[in-house]
Amino acid sequence: MSPAIVRVALPVPLPRSFDYTADQVEDGDLGRCVRVPFGRGEKTGLIVDLPDSADLPIERLKPVIAIQREAPALPADWLALVDFTARYYQHPLGEVVAMALPPRLRKADAVAGAEADPLLDLTDAGRAALTEARRESRAIALLRQLAVHGPRRRMLLREKAEGGAPAVAEALKRGWITATVATDPAAMAGAPTLTAEQQAAVDAIAASLGRFQPFLLAGVTGSGKTEVYLRLIQQVIAHGGQALILVPEIALTPQLEGRVAGRFPAARVVSLHSAQAEGARSQGFVQAMEGRADIVLGTRLSVFTPLPRLGLIVVDEEHDASYKQHEGVRYSARDLAIWRARQRGVPIVLGSATPSLESWHAAESGRYRRIELANRAVAATLPAVRPVDIRRETLQHGLSEHLLRAIAARLQRGEQSLIFLNRRGYAPVLSCPSCGWVSRCPHCTANLVLHLADRRLRCHHCSGETPIPTACPDCGNQDIQPFGRGTQRLEETLAERFPAARVLRVDRDAARTRAQWDALLGQIGRGEADILVGTQMMAKGHDFPQLTFVGVLNADSSLFAADFRAPERLFQQLMQVGGRAGRGELPGEVMVQTQYPDHPLYQCLARHDFARYAALQLEERKQARFPPFAANALLCATADEVATALAWLKDARAAALPFAQAFGVQVFDPVPMRMLRLARRERAQLLVEAPARPSLQAFLSAWSTHLWALKPPRDLRWHLDVDPAEV
C-alpha cells in the first residue's frame, strides 16, 4: 500500500501549504498537529487536508516525523475559520494557525484543568459553626457569604471574598466547606429584576437563539447591557449551549470574569487572553474545545476558541479599536465573530454605547437588528456635557479658568475630578490658533500631515506635498503650530496649582502590570485620590462613585486628524469618558475645551445624540467614499531606506494596474508613512480603494499572486492590511 498524503500548514511566511507522506493516516488526523522535516530542521504544523494527490510526484515528498495523536484534533469548523481568516486577510494559513493555537496544545492540559477550580459549598459542620459562632472571624465571614449566595468557585472566593485565600484555606481545613458537584450550570445567583427595556432586549434576542442574526445593542453607558448578556447566556447554558464573550481589554477581563462567575456559580467559566501563561491558555482552549467550558470570556484572540456547542456570541464595546490586531495577522475579531456566528447559525450581540459607524450603518440598512437601551439602569441622569470655548482665553498650562474652577469646586465638596488627555492629541496636523486654519490637501477630503523629519506637509491619500509654511496662509499669523503640545506636564501643573489635592496619573506607564492597575483602581475607588489624570484607559468600564467631573483637553486635534476615523473615535471616547462621571448618587459634569465650540461633534455630544452624529459622519463618509461606503486595504512596506520601500510599492502598483480597473478598484500612489521611521526601519504604504468588500477581496487574491512573485530587495518586508483601522 502506498503511503498517504497529508497537507500541512506551517508557520512560514509563504502563501502555501506543504505536502508530506505518512504511513498511516486516519480521517481523525485532519486538524491534528504534526512534526515535519523542513529545510535543515523541523517544524510543527497543522494537518489541514488529506488530499488524494499531491502537488509534487509522491516519491519526492518527505515523510512526517510524528502526528500528535494524544492531543485532540481541531474540528472542521475551526479549520474553516482559520482558512477564511487566511484568505480574507491575505495572510499565510500556517501563520494564522500558529497565532490561533496555543503554542503547546496537550491533552494533559484539559485533564489537569478538570478539577482545578472546584465549586465550594458549606458542610453540615460549616452550617453548625456559623450558627454557633460567637466571634466574627474571616472564616466565619466566608461561611456567611456562602450561606447567603450559595456555592462558589474556589478561585472566585480566593480573589473576591472577604478574607480571601487564607479564609478559604482555614474553612477547608476545619471541614466547614467542601468541593461539591455542580448540578445546574445555568443556575443564577443575585440577578436583579430587569428593566422593561432590558427585558424587551432579552426577549428580542432570545427569539433568535438557534439561528444566525446579528444584533446591535446600542445602550448608553450604565444602561445594563452586561445584564442583558448575562440573561441571554443563562438561556444558552440552560439549553446546553456555550457562550463566547469578547471584551476589548485585558484589564477588563477580571472584572467581567468576576461578575460572570458570581452570577453563574456552577458554570465553568474559562477566560482567555494573550497575557496569560501558556499553560493556562492551552488548558482553557482544550476545555472549550471538549465542550467542558460553558462560558468563554476573552480578548480578541479568543474568537479562535473552538466551541462545539456554541450558542451565542457577544462582542462587548464592539467599536473598540483593540479588536483589530495591528501586527502579524491583521484581523478584526469583531468581523470574524460575525463570520463565525453565521457559520454556526447562532445569534451575535454587538454591544456599545457608541457603535462603530460600520455597525451603525449595517443596522440602518437592515443587515443587523438594532435594539436600544436609552436609559441608565440605575442612577438615572446622564452627565451634563458642554464645550468650553478657549479661543479668547489664555490657558494656564493648557487649562482654562472654567476647568480650574470646576476642579476646585469638586475638591471643596470632597468629590473626584478626572482630567482626560486625548492622546491622539499628538496627531501632527498644522493649525493656526488665531483664525482656525488647518493644513488641508487641495486635492482630497483629507488633512495634510506634518512630516517633521524632512519638514514637509503631505497628503496620505494622493501623495501631494508642500513645504511647511512659515506663516498662516489665511491670516499671516506666524505662530502656526502642530496640535497637541505641552500636555506632558499636566500632572505637575495640577499638583502645583492644587497643592492640597492628591493627584493620581492613570495611564499605560502608571499601570504597566495588572497588579499596578488593580492597585490604582483600588486607590481611586477608596477615594484616595482627588484629581485623576488619565488617558484612554480611564474611559472604559470602571465605575467611580465619587467621580463627578471630567475635563477634556486636546480634543480638537482629532477633529482634523489625517485619519478619517479620528472624529468617530473622539466622539466614542468622549461619550465613554463622560459615562464615568456621576455614576453614583452624584450628578456628573463634563467640560470639553475647544476652539470649535460650534462643531457638530460637540453639539451632538452635549445632547447625547449619537444617532445624529452618526448620521452626519456617515453622510461625510459617503461623499468622500470612505468605509463603510468603500472597502480599503493598505499595502505596507518597510526597508532600511524609504526609497527602497517606495520603489517596491511602485512595482506592486504597476503589477495591479492592468486588472485593477476590471474590479472597479483604485490603487493610489505609494507614500511615506506619517511615522516614517519605526524601530530603525523606514515605512511607506499605498492605499487600495474598492467599492465594496467582495470586489476588494477578488482584486486582492488576484494581486497577491503578483506580490509574492515580485522579488523584494533583501532588506524589504511587506504586508497587506485589509480593512485597516487607520488610513
* Binding partner of 195, given ligand ADP, Zn ion, none, CB within 5-8 angstroms per partner class: ligand ADP
**Nearest approach, Cβ of residue 252 and ligand ADP (Å):** 11
Residue 195 binding ligand ADP, by CB under 6 A:
yes
Q: Is 282 in the site for ligand ADP (CB under 6 A)?
A: no
Closer to ligand ADP at the Cβ: 221 or 685?
Answer: 221
Nearest approach, Cβ of 254 to ligand ADP (angstroms)? Answer: 15
Site pattern 199..238 for ligand ADP (x: CB under 6 A): --------------------x-xxxxxxx-----------
Alpha-carbon gap, residue 55 to 84, rounded angstroms: 22
Judged by CB, which is closer to Zn ion: 477, or 695? 477
Q: How many CB atoms lie within 10 A of CB 23?
A: 10
Examine residue 377 and tell whether it contacts ligand ADP (CB under 6 A): yes
Q: What are phi and psi of 34, to 5 degrees?
A: -150, 145
Q: Which of 54, 182, 194, 725 binds ligand ADP (CB under 6 A)?
A: 194
HEC string for 390-429: CCCCCCECCECHHHHHHHHHHHHHCCEEEEEECHHHHCCC
* Interaction of residue 459 with Zn ion, rule CB under 5 A: yes
Three-state secondary structure readout of 109-142: HHHHHCCCCCEEEECHHHHHHHHHCCCCCHHHHH
CB of 511 vs ligand ADP, minimal distance in Å: 21
Residue 137 or 235: the one with the smaller Cβ distance to ligand ADP is 235
Do 373 and 218 meet the contact criterion of CB atoms below 8 Å apart?
yes
Burial class (CB in 10 A: 0-12, 13-18, 19+), 162: exposed
Closest among 601, 199, 496, 214 to 369, alpha carbons compared? 214
Q: Which CB atom, from 228 or from 406, has the smaller least distance to ligand ADP?
A: 228
Q: Degrees (nearest 5) of the Cα angle 630, 357, 623?
A: 45
**Residue 240 DSSP code:** T
Please work out the total of residues on this chain that contact Zn ion, with binding judged by CB under 5 A.
14
Q: Contact with Zn ion (CB under 5 A): which of 254, 262, 464, 587?
A: 464
Among 108, 378, 452, 643, contact with ligand ADP (rule: CB under 6 A): 378
Write down the least CB distance from residue 444 to Zn ion, Å: 3
**Least Å from the CB of residue 226 to ligand ADP:** 3
Residue 727 interacts, among Zn ion, ligand ADP, none and using kind-specific CB cut-offs from 5 to 8 Å, with none
Span near Zn ion by CB under 5 A; candidates 188-196, 437-445, 522-530, 644-652: 437-445
Task: State the minimum distance, in angstroms, from the CB of residue 202 to ligand ADP.
Answer: 11
Written as one string, the DSSP assignment of 345-402 is T-EEEEEESS--HHHHHHHHTTSSEEEEE-S-SSS-PPPEEEEEE-TT---BTTB-HH
* Sign for the pseudo-dihedral over CA of 261, 263, 268, 270: negative
Figure out which of the listed residues 44, 68, 198, 234 binds ligand ADP, where binding follows CB under 6 A.
198
- Cell representation of residue 523: 486607590
The CB-of-539 to ligand ADP minimum distance in angstroms stands at 12
Q: Which of 18, 25, 29, 19 is nearest to 2 (CA)?
A: 25
Structural element, H or E, at residue 339: helix 333-344
> Which residues are within 8 A (CB) of 516 and not within 5 positions of it... i.e. 6 or more apart?
510
Choices 191-199, 211-219, 461-469, 528-536; region in contact with Zn ion by CB under 5 A: 461-469
CB of 21 to Zn ion, least distance (A): 55
> Cell triple for residue 701?
487574491
Q: Does 461 interact with Zn ion (rule: CB under 5 A)?
A: yes
444 binds, among ligand ADP, Zn ion, none (CB under 5 to 8 A by kind): Zn ion
Q: Does 444 bind Zn ion (CB under 5 A)?
A: yes
Shortest separation between residue 194's beta carbon and ligand ADP, angstroms: 5
151 binds ligand ADP (CB under 6 A): no
* Beta-carbon contacts of residue 714 (< 8 Å; ≥ 6 apart): none
Q: Helix/strand/coil (H, E, C) string of 503-553?
A: EEEECCCCCCCHHHHHHHHHHHHCCCCCEEEECHHHHCCCCCCCEEEEEEE
Q: What is the dihedral of CA 38, 44, 45, 49, to 10 degrees?
A: 80
CB closer to ligand ADP out of 351 and 551? 351
Q: Which is nearer to ligand ADP, 353 or 696 (CB)?
A: 353
Interface of this chain with ligand ADP, residues 174 to 193, rule: CB under 6 A: 192-193
Q: Is 475 in the site for Zn ion (CB under 5 A)?
A: yes
What is the C-alpha to C-alpha distance for residues 618 and 350, in angstroms, rounded to an integer? 19
Q: Which residues contact 402 (CB under 8 A, 6 or more apart)?
A: 388, 591
Could you say whether residue 84 binds Zn ion (CB under 5 A)? no
Our CB check for Zn ion shows the closer of 165 and 475 to be 475
The one-character DSSP state at 668 is: P
The reply to whether 441 sits near Zn ion by the rule CB under 5 A is: yes
Q: Does 572 bind ligand ADP (CB under 6 A)?
A: no
Smallest separation, CB 437 to Zn ion (Å): 4
Q: Which stretch binds Zn ion (CB under 5 A): 90-98, 141-149, 439-447, 494-502?
A: 439-447
Q: How far is the CB of 353 from ligand ADP (least distance, A)?
A: 7
What does the chain come to in residues?
727
Pick the closer one to ligand ADP by CB: 225 or 505. Answer: 225
Smallest distance from ligand ADP to CB 21, Å: 54
Backbone angles phi and psi of 251, in degrees to 5: -60, -25
Q: What are phi and psi of 206, to 5 degrees?
A: -60, -30
Q: Which does 378 bind (CB under 5 to 8 A by kind): ligand ADP, Zn ion, none?
A: ligand ADP
Whether the CB-CB separation of 702 and 647 falls below 8 Å is answered with: no
Measured from the CB of residue 684, what is the shortest distance to Zn ion in angstroms? 16
Peptide bond into 473 cis (omega under 30): no
477 binds, among Zn ion, ligand ADP, none (CB under 5 to 8 A by kind): Zn ion
Q: Which residues make Cβ contacts (< 8 Å) with residue 382, sequence separation at least 6?
A: 220, 376, 578, 588, 608
Residue 28 site contact among ligand ADP, Zn ion, none (CB < 5 to 8 Å, cut-off depends on kind): none
Q: Which residue has the cell 460567637?
A: 134
Is there binding between residue 248 and ligand ADP (CB under 6 A)? Answer: no
Cβ–Cβ under 8 Å, residues 341 and 348: yes
CB of 443 to Zn ion, least distance (A): 4
Q: How far is the CB of 418 from ligand ADP (least distance, A)?
A: 17
Q: Which is nearer to Zn ion, 437 or 498 (CB)?
A: 437
Q: Which CB, 58 or 378, lies closer to ligand ADP?
A: 378
Which residues does residue 687 pair with via DSSP β-bridges, in sequence order?
A: 634
Closest CB to Zn ion among 191 and 475?
475
Residue 604 binding ligand ADP, by CB under 6 A: no
Cβ atoms 17, 87 nearer than 8 A? no
Q: DSSP 3-state assignment of 502?
A: coil
Closer to ligand ADP by Cβ: residue 227 or 556: 227
Q: Which option in Zn ion, ligand ADP, none does residue 443 bind, with CB closer than 5 to 8 A by kind?
A: Zn ion
Q: Is 123 in the site for ligand ADP (CB under 6 A)?
A: no
State the residues that interact with ligand ADP by CB under 6 A: 192-195, 198, 219, 221-227, 377-378
State the residues that interact with Zn ion by CB under 5 A: 432, 435, 437, 441, 443-444, 459, 461-462, 464, 472, 474-475, 477
